[in-house]
Amino acid sequence: MGNLTVEGTRFRFTKDTVEALEPGSAPYYAWDTKEHGLCVLVAVSGTKTFFYRYKVAGQSKRFKLGRFPGLTVGAAQSKTVVHRGAVESGGDPAQAKREQRAELTVGELVAQYVADHLTPNCKPKAVKEAEQLTRDYLGDLVGFGLSALTRKRVKDWHKDVSKRSKIRANRALEVLSAACSFALEEEENDRAPALWGGVNPCHKLKGNPENSRSRVLSEIESGRLVRALEAERPDLRDFFKMLLYTGARKANVQAMKWADVDLDRGSWRIEAAESKSGKEMRLALIEDAVKLLRKRKTDLEALVRRAAKPVDATRLTLREARHRAVEQRRASGAAVYVFPGLGASGHLVEPKIAWARVLKRAEIKKLRIHDLRRTVGTKLAETGANAFMIQAALGHKSLASSKAYIHPDLAPVRAALEGVAAAFAKAGADAAADEKKVVRIKGKR
């Protein structure tokens, strides 16, 4: 098509006149007499494409406007007026489009931010979260070049995705804002378009209001929960009890390792890589927690021996074969993890179904697993534990910079946790006693 002559018939473009153009033995141009520079290229196949042709520094150039009839004659004429104005102002539409294509897109920027900043500096969970938010919430923006990422566009996008989830929309906005700040860093200035003027397009955009949760178990709910746990499968029952005994974060208890537990001293070490604060922590283990762990160790050792014992697979029922397969998978992680699981991680993960089952049995509504940690902290305060003991018990990063040098002994912390455990035990006993007093009357069917 490089030898194609730009000379051709000229007439006023209308829907009818353009439709009437017939393909020839070679492609040719037809020109509009209304808008200077507007032409249509008629291919041998009959396809008709609008172009705007112009000159910059004596060099002839063309800019594709779109195909007819998808792009109407009126729309093509309007686009021609806009681009002709840009040329007359010293611009070059074709060059601008090439530069735009070469420009980093929002999706590419976020990917670089995740690869160059999040991955080396943050936990895998943060990386996974950013990738999920990008996939699920930033889809409408990832194709735009950075110069097209205006404050208005970000604001409109956030308003739209907030219809799906206000909280997740806020988290997605945070990822986008962090990526834009990453682009604006001094060594990354070549990634941020001059159009931003050095200002993050997400700067000071208000997210959706969020109410911090303050849900804790009441005394009555505590009793019902303790009772409900007794009916749960042993490994899940022990997992939830360990959350109550330690007040630790769910993820840390799920990945609890035997190598990090000192049963004789009653302490549990959480590695810096596993800690939310990024620092190694040591948590106190109360007597009930130590007893639970000793029993689990014995039970898991028996599981490993049972799984290693050879059996005649041909004599097993389908149910027995499945049960053995599950035990063998759990046994493979039993030497490392306190709560071995069936997945690739080797440990228990996200017991949502079991938690829902426990809540239903206990007749408790709107309680998250993390609320157990909040409940332990609240009960610690109620038993008289001071702020530093609560900080040590729950592994909070710090109270304030001025208090960062105070290192509480685990002995009083353990004593405070013993008080919390005693409160849970009493609530459970009271619930059991009340249950015995209730005479259930069966209605007639």
Give the CATH number for residue 231: 1.10.443
- 297 in any annotated domain: yes
Q: Yes or no: say if 268 and 401 are a contact pair by the CB < 8 Å rule.
A: no
Query: In this structure, are 110 and 159 located in the same domain?
Result: yes
Is residue 211 situated within a structural domain?
no
Whether residue 76 is found in the same domain as residue 173: no
Same domain for 313 and 177? no
Q: Which domain holds residue 19?
A: 8-101
Residues 345 and 430 in one domain: yes
Q: How far apart are CA 32 and CA 40, in angstroms?
A: 8
- Number of domains the chain is built from: 3
Rg, C-alpha atoms of the chain: 34
From the number of C-beta atoms within 10 Å of its C-beta (0-12, 13-18, 19+), residue 108 rates as middle
Are 184 and 80 members of one domain? Answer: no
Pairing verdict, β 48-56 and 8-11: unpaired
- Tell me which of 77, 101, 125 is where a domain ends: 101
Verify that 134 and 232 share a domain, yes or no: no
Question: Does residue 3 belong to any structural domain of this protein?
Answer: no
**Token representation of residue 179:** 């990526």
Domain end among 51, 79, 101: 101
pLDDT of residue 185: 73
- Are 230 and 170 members of one domain? no
The CATH number for 96's domain is: 3.30.160.390
How do residues 352-363 score in pLDDT, each as one tens digit? 999 999 999 999
Give the pLDDT confidence score for residue 169 in this predicted structure: 94
Q: Which amino acid is at 245?
A: Y
C-alpha span between 375 and 218 (Å, rounded): 9
| Residue 229 CB contacts under 8 Å (≥ 6 apart), including other chains | 237, 240, 241, 358
Instruction: Please give the pLDDT value at position 426.
Output: 83
330 and 431 together in one domain: yes
Q: Give the chain's residues under pLDDT 50.
A: 1-3, 186-188, 399-408, 444-445
